[in-house]
Amino acid sequence: MLLPIRDVHKPRTRSPVLAMIVGMNAGAFVVQLAMGMHRSVWQGGVIPWEIARGRSLEVASRLHPGLTLIAAIFLHGGLIHLAGNMLYLWVFGPGVEYRLGRGRFLSLYIASGVVGMVAHAYTNPDSLIPAIGASGAVAGVLGAYLCLFPKGRIRSLLVLIIFLSTVDVPAGAFIGVWVVFHAVAALMAGETAVAIFAHLGGFIVGCIAAERWRRKE
């Protein structure tokens, strides 16, 4: 198993938007713990049935379906879920924010998350299971990174049972394995609480947006 540690060529600059996003996700998780995980997921999670039909279940205490598309990308199902997403964002995000600028980086993050959730909804149109997580948004950052830094290298922790080591992995290979894993999972998945197509949808948005912005530079 490989866990990303840092971008070998990380620019020596601050990433205020990245720090803000991480802080917002962490703060939202604290709120979730305070109000109860089940309640928070039910109130702010994206229910595919609502998005696919363009109408609400009309159940008290739920946000409007359109608002859940934003709220859900800041909610997580547990500490591991949160930590995993934030780790990838912290490793791949600085370079992307540096190249795109603060405003574009924030737009990319939100757009990737929203489009990812919509992709999940339309591939599971009858599901009443709330979907949450920043995975689609983070996937968009990965897609942008791959486009902007095709020759980048990611220092990763190699875990083989009890053996630990670090290795520099080409970003293309690291992200490529991630994409293949999720593509296979998507083909094998039926109705699921894990928003596989949210990951892939967000990734595609990141690739397209970064490529268009890169050509304008």
- Give the pLDDT band of residue 217 (cuts 50, 70, 90): low
Closest residue by Cα to residue 19 from 72, 135, 97, 113: 97
Give dist(CA 208, CA 201) in Å, integer.
11
Q: Average pLDDT for residues 180-206, to the nearest whole number? A: 74
Residue 189 has pLDDT above 60, yes or no: no
Residue 173 located in a structural domain: no
Closest residue by Cα to residue 150 from 164, 133, 130, 170: 170
Predicted local distance difference test score (pLDDT) of residue 190: 54
Predicted local distance difference test score (pLDDT) of residue 187: 66
Lowest mean pLDDT among 49-58, 94-103, 167-176, 178-187: 178-187
- Give the pLDDT band of residue 197 (cuts 50, 70, 90): confident
Residue 170 located in a structural domain: no
Q: How many domains, the chain? A: 1
Q: Average pLDDT for residues 20-38, to the nearest whole number? A: 96
Residue 193 has pLDDT above 50, yes or no: no
- Given a contact cutoff of 8 angstroms between Cβ atoms, the answer to whether 198 and 119 are in contact is yes
Q: How many Cα atoms within 13 Å fall on the side-chain side of residue 77?
A: 11
Residue 16 has pLDDT above 70, yes or no: yes
40 is catalytic: no
Q: Average pLDDT for residues 43-59, to the nearest whole number? A: 90
Question: Which residues pair with residue 157 across a beta bridge?
Answer: 3, 166
Predicted local distance difference test score (pLDDT) of residue 212: 87
107 is catalytic: no
State which residues form the domain around 23. Answer: 14-150+194-216
Residue 3 located in a structural domain: no
Structure tokens at 65: 């379906």
Query: 135, 156, 165, 182: which is the annotated catalytic residue?
Result: 135
Residue 164 located in a structural domain: no
Residue 181 located in a structural domain: no
Residue 186 located in a structural domain: no
Write the pLDDT tens digit of every residue in 58-114. 777 789 999 999 999 999 999 999 999 999 999 999 999 999 999 999 999 999 999
Residue 205 located in a structural domain: yes
Residue 185 has pLDDT above 70, yes or no: no
Predicted local distance difference test score (pLDDT) of residue 213: 84
Write the pLDDT tens digit of every residue in 144-164. 999 999 889 988 887 776 667
Q: Residue 21: which H helix or E strand, with range?
A: helix 16-35
Residue 74 located in a structural domain: yes
Q: What is the CATH number of the domain that holds 23?
A: 1.20.1540.10
Predicted local distance difference test score (pLDDT) of residue 195: 67
Other C-beta atoms lying within 10 Å of the C-beta of residue 201: 26
In this prediction the pTM is 0.89
- Given a contact cutoff of 8 angstroms between Cβ atoms, the answer to whether 167 and 102 are in contact is no
E strand spans, the chain: 2-7, 153-160, 163-170
